[in-house]
Amino acid sequence: MEQNLGSAKIAVRLLGALKPYWGLALLCLIVYAGSRGLFLFTPWVEGQFLDRVFGEKDADYLFVLVGVWFGIALTTYLTSLGTGYFVSKITGQTRRDMQLNVYQHLRFLPCRFYDNHTTGQIMAYVNTDTASAAEGILASGWIVAGGVEFVITLAVVFWVNPWLGLFSIPFTLAVVYLPILFRRPVQNASKQVLQERESISSRLQEGIAGSREIKSLGHEMRDMGFIGGSLNTLVRAEVRQAVIGGLTALGPLVSWLGNPLFFLIGGKMVIDGDISVGFFWMATRYLNLLTFPLYRCQNEYQKLLQAGEGAKRVFAFLEENPTETQDGITGINLQGQIRFETVTFGYNETEPVLENVTFEVQPGQLVALVGPSGAGKSTLLNLIPRFYGPTQGHIYVDARDISTLNLRALRSQIGTVFQDPYLFSGSIEENIRMGHDTQSA
């Protein structure tokens, strides 16, 4: 159940989950872009401080700049609060939707799916993988926001000085290329972490469910050893993921290598009187601001790579064919005549459990199935409510092929006591009412 999806395709599919909230997401992006656009005035204000206030001793202009600075700071703070609110609301709702979609899909998968997957694996789909996909949605959104911020900042840099904009391009390309260079190792490391977490989830579920058996065998410490070994493997995988991820964050190093070169060129221009100290400071600040959205995109891209493995598992799971549809005849009132006609079935298609079974049971007739363990008694009964479908042959109830009946309508008229009863958490009354909402305990 794997999908070969690139990071761009994953991001597009994740952003597609925002479709019900496009209006809110667009409003969030506008607020964020406005906040960052307003913040881009701060280098200009700082440059004016150096040239007009300190250089020309303009005291009146000092109060103007202080007022402008205060207005920018207050507005940026308020818009940051708004952005944080919108981001939390959008990501929370999309995570909820994704978990509900996964769980709803899970409810209509056939019993064979549960036979082929452990409870820990299934829980990982609902919890771990959807949470990882939600992180990918958030990362994709921040990459879009960072891209918008970068374009705005680059436009301002070129407006301030075209040569300054050209100077920044080689370093910009280097910062963008580094995460792409380490993409595959990051994805492999993230995939290993998810697999180890799934393994631990399965082991914990089995250990808790089998606590009585573990105690009867005196294997408590042995079970602890299994869990401890799995946790140690997970820690090593997470450390490897962090180290490889750190290699993608070389953007600051590229920036630090570029700053001395700019200081050398800009410092010489200040000494020669070609530019003022204020302009030099403003240009330095704009170069730093230009790299900020790239660093954010770089970090979020790393998160997207890590979340992408969980997202791919969610997408693949949602494409698992839900064979339990609610099509078919409804409004039936079954009398209980059952007929098996040359029915063959096996959990493994090459090893049939039942082969060419034919018999008939009349309404009210009591029939006992006798045979050794593994002969197929429970399997035969599981075919009547269509927990499984026969490989060959047909099953009829009241002369109707059960494959033509609506599943919910069919099962609502069959009372089943399983070989291994299961009680849900809650009271006995609540468990009884699961079979009949109006039933009184």
**pLDDT 10s digits, 65-114:** 889 889 988 988 888 888 888 888 888 888 888 888 888 888 878 887 88
| Predicted confidence band of residue 180 (pLDDT cuts 50, 70, 90) | low
Residue 3 has pLDDT above 70, yes or no: no
> Residue 380 is part of which domain span?
338-433
Q: What is the pLDDT of residue 341?
A: 92
Per 3-state DSSP, what percentage of the chain is helix, strand, and coil (rounded to 5)?
A: 70, 5, 25
Residue 4 has pLDDT above 70, yes or no: no
| Predicted confidence band of residue 213 (pLDDT cuts 50, 70, 90) | confident
Mean pLDDT for the chain? 80
Let me know whether 344 and 376 are in one domain. Answer: yes
Does residue 315 contact residue 343 with C-beta atoms inside 8 Å?
A: no
Residue with tokens 């704009």: 286
Q: Is residue 325 one of the residues assigned to a domain?
A: no
| Predicted confidence band of residue 322 (pLDDT cuts 50, 70, 90) | low
Best CA proximity match to 55, nearest among 65, 45, 47 = 47
N- to C-terminal Cα separation, the chain: 44
The torsion angles phi and psi of 339, rounded to 5 degrees, stand at -140, 125
For a pLDDT cut of 70, what percent of the chain falls above it? 89
Q: Is residue 154 one of the residues assigned to a domain?
A: yes
Average pLDDT (326-333) is 75
Residue 439 has pLDDT above 60, yes or no: no
Let me know whether 286 and 399 are in one domain. Answer: no
Q: Is residue 441 one of the residues assigned to a domain?
A: no
Let me know whether 78 and 138 are in one domain. Answer: yes
| Predicted confidence band of residue 168 (pLDDT cuts 50, 70, 90) | confident
Beta bridge partners of 196: none
CATH number of the domain bearing residue 357 = 3.40.50.300
Q: What is the pLDDT of residue 342?
A: 92
Q: Is residue 327 one of the residues assigned to a domain?
A: no
* Spacing of C-alpha 261 from chain mean position: 42
Residue 321 has pLDDT above 70, yes or no: no
Q: What is the pLDDT of residue 225?
A: 84
Q: What is the pLDDT of residue 253?
A: 64
Let me know whether 228 and 79 are in one domain. Answer: yes
* Furthest C-alpha separation in the chain: 108
Average pLDDT (273-289) is 83
Let me know whether 401 and 261 are in one domain. Answer: no
- Tell me the pLDDT tens digit for each residue of 376-434: 888 888 888 888 888 889 999 988 898 888 888 888 888 777 777 777 777 777 777 77
Q: Is residue 326 one of the residues assigned to a domain?
A: no
- Tell me the pLDDT tens digit for each residue of 151-166: 888 888 888 778 777 7
Task: Name 301's Cβ contacts closer than 8 Å, sequence gap at least 6.
Answer: 7, 139, 143, 179, 248
Let me know whether 146 and 279 are in one domain. Answer: yes
Q: Is residue 324 one of the residues assigned to a domain?
A: no
The whole-angstrom separation of Cα 40 and Cα 161 is 15
Does residue 364 contact residue 289 with C-beta atoms inside 8 Å?
A: no
CATH number of the domain bearing residue 130 = 1.20.1560.10
| Pair of tokens at residue 137 | 């949605």
Q: Is residue 2 one of the residues assigned to a domain?
A: no
How many domains is the chain partitioned into structurally?
2
Task: Name 400's Cβ contacts closer than 8 Å, sequence gap at least 6.
Answer: 329, 332
Let me know whether 71 and 141 are in one domain. Answer: yes
Let me know whether 117 and 51 are in one domain. Answer: yes
Let me know whether 90 and 203 are in one domain. Answer: yes
Let me know whether 100 and 179 are in one domain. Answer: yes
Let me know whether 151 and 282 are in one domain. Answer: yes
Let me know whether 207 and 312 are in one domain. Answer: yes
The whole-angstrom separation of Cα 148 and Cα 165 is 17
Query: What pTM does this model have?
Result: 0.66
Q: Is residue 222 one of the residues assigned to a domain?
A: yes
